[in-house]
Each structure stands twice: as structure tokens, then as C-alpha cells.
């Protein structure tokens, strides 16, 4: 059998890819706010140890380990998620590089993240939250209720 065309190393995106905002929230077993406790840069991954600081939904672990690829931290928040561009399905601060089956979320100390550990294929699975007035945070909290 011969295949002609571009070959992709990733044939199945991570869970959460392409979900609407409502599906992302509704289908997540766990939704938390996390902060970075430790970052280990190595090859071929960057390992992020994330500490849960608030549980919004579910009964998650108190810590998560996330394997990333990009060391450059993206700190965009779409003006606390008030910018209309953020509300398109595939918009988010995390880039989707070639061949890793999902967005490459990054984490740095000094930031809080709204984290969907079960559905990391969604670009909105690790958005920075700067305040209680953040529009994305409030949308998620109101949807959970």
C-alpha cells in the first residue's frame, strides 16, 4: 500500500480538540486553577509541576505534571479575555506546533492558570487568569453552576 501526500506524526488530537466553549466546560471532569511549582527543562520535554490552588469542578489531584515542548512562555490574556478574538473556538494563548497532537501550553511562576487537565487538546485549556473579573473565568464558573 502506498500513500501519497503529507504525512503527519499525529493522527489523533488530544481530547478536547475542537470542542465548543460549552462542551469544554461540560465534558471536563475537573476544572482547576493552578500555578507552577517547578519547571524542569530537558530533552525532549519541559516538565511542568503544577499545584492546584482552587478547585472549580470535580475532585482532581492536588498536583499535575504537564509535558511541554516550547520554552518561550506566552502570557497573552486577550485583555482578561474581553477581546472578541478569544471567543473563537481555536483561539487561545497556547500555540499548536507541528506533530504534538495538541496545543503546547506553557507555564511560568507568578501566573495563575484556568486548567482543564482532562481536555488538554483545547487551546483554552490553560488560560492565564489575572483577576476575579476575568471574562473567561466568569464564563466557566457560571456555566458550572
- Whether 54 has a pLDDT exceeding 50, the answer reads yes
Q: How confident is the model at residue 144 (pLDDT cuts 50, 70, 90)?
A: very high
Largest CA distance in the chain: 56
**Tens digits of residue pLDDT in 30-47:** 999 999 999 999 888 899
pLDDT of residue 91: 86
- Whether 12 has a pLDDT exceeding 50, the answer reads yes
Q: How confident is the model at residue 70 (pLDDT cuts 50, 70, 90)?
A: confident
| Cell of residue 9, nine digits | 506524526
Q: How confident is the model at residue 24 (pLDDT cuts 50, 70, 90)?
A: very high
pLDDT of residue 9: 57
* Average pLDDT value for residue range 80-85: 93
> Hey, what CATH topology would domain 21-144 get?
OB fold (Dihydrolipoamide Acetyltransferase, E2P) (2.40.50)
In the chain the first and final C-alpha atoms are separated, in Å, by: 52
pLDDT of residue 10: 66
Locate the domains of the chain by residue range. 21-144
How far apart are the C-alpha atoms of 41 and 71, rounded to whole Å?
A: 8
Q: 111: cis peptide before it, omega within 30°?
A: no
Phi, psi of 93 (to 5 degrees): -75, -25
- What radius of gyration, in Å, describes the C-alpha atoms of the chain? 15
pLDDT of residue 21: 94
Q: How confident is the model at residue 114 (pLDDT cuts 50, 70, 90)?
A: very high
pLDDT of residue 1: 44
* Average pLDDT value for residue range 128-145: 97
Amino acid at each position: 500500500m502506498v500513500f501519497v501526500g503529507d504525512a503527519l506524526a499525529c493522527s489523533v488530537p488530544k481530547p478536547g480538540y475542537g470542542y465548543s466553549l460549552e462542551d469544554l466546560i461540560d465534558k471536563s471532569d475537573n476544572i482547576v486553577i493552578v500555578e507552577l511549582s517547578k519547571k524542569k527543562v530537558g530533552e525532549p520535554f519541559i516538565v511542568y509541576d503544577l499545584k492546584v490552588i482552587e478547585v472549580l469542578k470535580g475532585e482532581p489531584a492536588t498536583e499535575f505534571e504537564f509535558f511541554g515542548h516550547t520554552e518561550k512562555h506566552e502570557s497573552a490574556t486577550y485583555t482578561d479575555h474581553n477581546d472578541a478574538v478569544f471567543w473563537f473556538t481555536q483561539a487561545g494563548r497556547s500555540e499548536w506546533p507541528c506533530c504534538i497532537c495538541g496545543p503546547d501550553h506553557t507555564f511560568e511562576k507568578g501566573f495563575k492558570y484556568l486548567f482543564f487537565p482532562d481536555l488538554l487538546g483545547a487551546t483554552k485549556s490553560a488560560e492565564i487568569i489575572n483577576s476575579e473579573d476575568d471574562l473567561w473565568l466568569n464564563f466557566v464558573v457560571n456555566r458550572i453552576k
